[in-house]
Amino acid sequence: MSGENNAFEFGFCDRPLYKLERPWSPSDDPWEVQRLPNGRMIAAEATVPDSIEDAYSQWTKGSAVSYGDGIIGCLPSGSYYLVRSELRPLDANRLLLGNIAVPRPPEVAILWDKLTGIEYKKNQAPGLFAAVFGTEAGVLPELSQPLLGTGILNFTGQRYVAPHGEIFSNSGLWFFPFSSRIGDENPEQPKDPLLIIPEDTFIIDARGPYLEAEQRWKKNAYRIAQLLARGR
């Protein structure tokens, strides 16, 4: 991911596939997300690294994933949680683009929508909004491939101090497909999607380019992975 000012490009360095624009006033204005027309997809011949191929195949057996596994071998250096999620898209009408809610377009699926505020309690699950952005307008996003996420700290542009003194904020986690659809049949959505949750890369802070953003995200990454794996 590369970023300049408030715009972040997500994908291959030479031809990024998505562009995320952070609002200048994250408490008052929405994020913008767009698919770049000349973005580079993962090549169909890309494969899972040999060192994990057998274990990966056994683990994903019976999941929603039927193609696109090559993204596993294309990830940049870093730590990731590979999550087989029990979650299914919510019957949701709204999409949160930071602190601003808009009607959910058909090409976006909402996986988790539980934010928190000043009522946050010690050891409570972190407030999180998670969504999958599809590549085709008006078409439900593909869940038949591993989906790569980008984490957004201070998602609503606000930070809180809980009664017990802890400083916390809500987080956003947006997932994107990077492989072209294979086959004409509709994917079987009831199966478990596969989510790639970054621990120390692909992290944006909605409040600005602070150097400690990745370290702060890392503190909650495991708990977020647990939420999206089991829904609790």
pLDDT at position 190 is 67
Q: What is the pLDDT of residue 182?
A: 63
Closest CA to 66 of 205, 169, 177: 177
pLDDT at 216: 76
Longest dimension (CA), the chain: 53
Q: What is the CA radius of gyration of the chain?
A: 17
pLDDT-flagged residues of the chain (< 70): 1-5, 116-126, 159-168, 182-190, 209-213, 232
List, in sequence order, every residue forming a beta bridge with 8; answer none if it has no partner: 3, 20
Distance CA 30, CA 46 (A): 35
Of the candidates 68, 130, 44, 64, the one whose C-alpha atom is nearest the C-alpha of residue 95 is 130
Structure tokens at 232: 């609790």
Tokens of 81: 């949680």
Identify the pLDDT of residue 120. 53
- Residue 22 neighbours by CB under 8 Å, 6+ apart: 6, 7, 8, 31, 204, 206
List, as own/partner pairs, every contact residues 41-50 make where C-beta atoms lie below 8 angstroms and the sequence separation is at least 24, other chains included: 41/17, 41/178, 41/179, 41/180, 42/68, 42/70, 42/71, 42/74, 42/178, 42/179, 43/70, 44/70, 44/179, 44/180, 44/182, 45/70, 46/70, 46/71, 46/73, 46/74, 47/73, 48/72, 48/73, 49/73
Of 108, 101, 179, 180, nearest in space to 137 by CA: 108
**Residue 58, H or E segment:** helix 53-60
CB-based contact 231:87 (threshold 8 Å): yes
pLDDT value of position 168: 62
Name, in order, each residue with C-beta under 8 angstroms of 171's C-beta and a sequence gap of 6 or more.
Answer: 126, 127, 128, 129, 151, 152, 153, 154, 155, 217, 220, 224
Distances (CA, A) of 61 to 48, 55, 57, 193: 14, 10, 6, 11
